[in-house]
Structure 1
Amino acid sequence: MPTTIILADDHPLILNGTKAFLEKKWFEILDTATDGNTAYNKILKHQPDVAILDFDMPILNGLEVAQGLKRNLIPTRVVLLTLHKQEALLNEVGNTIHGYLTKDSALEELEDCLNHITKNNTYIGKKLKNNIHFSSDTNTAINVLTATELKILKYLDKNLNSTQIAEALFISKRTVEKHRSNIIKKLKIDSSSHNALFIWLKQHPNLFNT
Structure 2
Amino acid sequence: MRKLEIFIADDHPILLKGLEDLLIEKKMNVIGKAINGQDALNFIIKNEPYIAILDVEMPKKSGIEIAQYCKLNKIATKIILITLYKEIDLYLMAKKIGVFGYILKEFALEEIETCIKSVTNNIPYFSEEIKKHIGFTEETNAVLKELSLPEKRVLKLISEHKTNKEIGHLLFISHRTVEKYRSKIILKLDLSHVSGALLSWVLKNKHLFN
Q: TM-score, normalised by structure 2?
A: 0.66
**Is 1:108 matched up with 2:110?**
yes
- 8 Å CA contact 1:6–1:32 kept in 2: the answer is yes
Name structure 2 gaps, 5 residues minimum: 150-183, 191-200
Q: CA deviation at 1:31?
A: 0.5
The one-letter amino acid paired with 1:156 is K
Query: What do residues 141-171 of structure 1 show as CA deviations (whole Å, max 9, x unaligned)?
Result: x6xx6xxx876x27724659xxxxxxxxxxx
Provide the secondary structure at the position in 1 that maps to 2:96.
coil
CA distance in 2 between partners of 1:158 and 1:118 (Å): 33
The number of equivalent residue pairs is 159
Partner of 1:190: none
Residues 51-200 of structure 1: pairs in structure 2 closer than 5 A: 51-96=52-97, 97-133=99-135, 153=142, 156-157=145-146, 159=148
Larger helix percent: 2
Provide the secondary structure at the position in 2 that maps to 1:127.
helix
The one-letter amino acid paired with 2:60 is I
Partner of 1:187: none
Query: What do residues 47-106 of structure 1 show as CA deviations (whole Å, max 9, x unaligned)?
Result: 111110011111001111111111111011111111121212211344322211111100
CA distance in 1 between partners of 2:120 and 2:127 (Å): 16
Provide the secondary structure at the position in 2 that maps to 1:92.
helix
RMSD: 2.8
Judging changes above 3 Å, is the alpha-carbon distance between structure 1 residues 202 and 120 closer, same or farther for their aligned structure 2 residues?
farther
Judging changes above 3 Å, is the alpha-carbon distance between structure 1 residues 92 and 126 closer, same or farther for their aligned structure 2 residues?
same
Q: Taking every aligned residue pair, what percent have the same amino acid on both sides?
A: 34
- 8 Å CA contact 1:30–1:46 kept in 2: the answer is no
Name structure 1 gaps, 5 residues minimum: 135-141, 161-198
Judging changes above 3 Å, is the alpha-carbon distance between structure 1 residues 34 and 154 closer, same or farther for their aligned structure 2 residues?
farther
CA distance in 1 between partners of 2:78 and 2:143 (Å): 21
The one-letter amino acid paired with 1:63 is I
